[in-house]
Amino acid sequence: MTFVVHGLPVARGIAIGRAVLVVSSRIDVAHYFIKPEQIEAEIDRVRIARNAVAEELLKLQANVALMGPNDAPHELAALLEVHQMLLQDEVLTGGVKHWIVERLYNAEWALTTQLEVVARQFDEMEDEYLRERKADLEQVVERLLHRMKGTAAVLAPTPPRRKRTADEDDHHDLIAGDAFDAPLVLIAHDLSPADMLQFKKSVFAGFVTDVGGRTSHTAIIARSMDIPAVVGARSASQLVRQDDWVIIDGDAGVMIVDPSPIILAEYGFKQRQGDLERGRLSRLRHKPAVTLDGQRVDLLANIEMPEDTIGAVKAGAVGVGLFRSEFLFMGREAHNLARLPDEEEQYQAYRRAVDGMKGMPVTIRTIDVGADKPLDGKQQREDYHLNPALGLRAIRWSLADPAMFLTQLRAILRAAAHGEIHLLIPMLAHVSEIRQTLSLIDFARAELDNRGAVHGNVKLGAMIEIPAAALTLKTFLKYFDFLSIGTNDLIQYTLAIDRADESVAHLYDPAHPAVLRLVAETIAECRRQGKGVSVCGEMAGDVVFTRLLLGLGLRSFSMHPSQILAVKQEVLRADTSKLEAWAQEVLESENPAAALVRT
Ligand code: PEP
Ligand code: MG
The structural domains of the chain, ordered by start, are 3-24+158-279 (3.50.30.10), 36-148 (1.10.274.10), 290-598 (3.20.20.60)
CB atoms within 10 A of CB 203: 17
Write the residue with the smallest CA distance to atom 9 of ligand 1: 324
Give the Å distance between the CA of 193 and the centre of ligand 1. 13
Q: Which residues contact 107 (CB under 8 A, 6 or more apart)?
A: 42, 43, 45, 46, 49, 96, 100, 148, 152
With 0-12 / 13-18 / 19 or more C-beta atoms within 10 angstroms meaning exposed / middle / buried, residue 400 is: exposed
Confidence at residue 25, expressed as pLDDT on a 0 to 100 scale:
58
Residue 598 one-letter amino acid: R
Confidence at residue 181, expressed as pLDDT on a 0 to 100 scale:
64
Confidence at residue 276, expressed as pLDDT on a 0 to 100 scale:
93
Which of 31, 83, 217, 455 is catalytic? The answer is 217
Alpha carbon distances (Å) from 214 to 100, 223, 565: 35, 10, 21
Tell me which of 300, 368, 497 to substitute to probe ligand 1's pocket, judged by most ligand atoms within 8 Å of the beta carbon.
368
Alpha carbon distances (Å) from 569 to 285, 294, 420, 524, 565: 10, 14, 28, 24, 6
Distance CA 294, CA 273 (A): 32
Three-state SS at 32: coil
Confidence at residue 180, expressed as pLDDT on a 0 to 100 scale:
53
Low-confidence ranges of the chain (pLDDT < 50): 154-179, 379-382, 384-385
Cβ(108) – ligand 1 distance below 6 Å: no
Confidence at residue 124, expressed as pLDDT on a 0 to 100 scale:
84
Distance CA 212, CA 210 (A): 7
Confidence at residue 5, expressed as pLDDT on a 0 to 100 scale:
96
> Under a CB-based contact definition with an 8 Å cutoff, are residues 483 and 461 in contact?
yes
Ligand whose nearest atom lies closest to the CA of 369: 1
Give the Å distance between the CA of 486 and the centre of ligand 2. 5
Three-state SS at 372: coil
Confidence at residue 384, expressed as pLDDT on a 0 to 100 scale:
46
Radius of gyration of the chain from its Cα atoms, rounded to whole angstroms: 26
Distance CA 179, CA 175 (A): 9
Cβ(465) – ligand 1 distance below 6 Å: yes
List of E strands, 337-465: 362-365, 421-425, 458-464
Write the residue with the smallest CA distance to atom 1 of ligand 1: 486
Cβ(206) – ligand 1 distance below 6 Å: no
Give the Å distance between the CA of 218 and the centre of ligand 1. 12
Atom of ligand 1 nearest to the CA of 492: 2
Active site residue 536: yes
Atom of ligand 1 nearest to the CA of 487: 3
Active site residue 526: no
Spell out a b/e string for 314-347, using b for 16 or more CB atoms within 10 Å of the CB, else e: ebbbbbbbbbbbbbbbbbbbbeeeeebbebeebb
DSSP 68-132: -TTTS-HHHHHHHHHHHHHHH-HHHHHHHHHHHHHH-B-HHHHHHHHHHHHHHHHHT-S-HHHHT
Distance CA 125, CA 147 (A): 30
DSSP 178-247: -GGGS-EEEEES---HHHHHHHHTSSEEEEEESS--TTSHHHHHHHHHTS-EEE--TTHHHHS-TT-EEE
Cβ(368) – ligand 1 distance below 6 Å: yes
Distance CA 305, CA 326 (A): 9
Ligand whose nearest atom lies closest to the CA of 484: 1
Alpha carbon distances (Å) from 187 to 102, 206, 269: 20, 9, 24
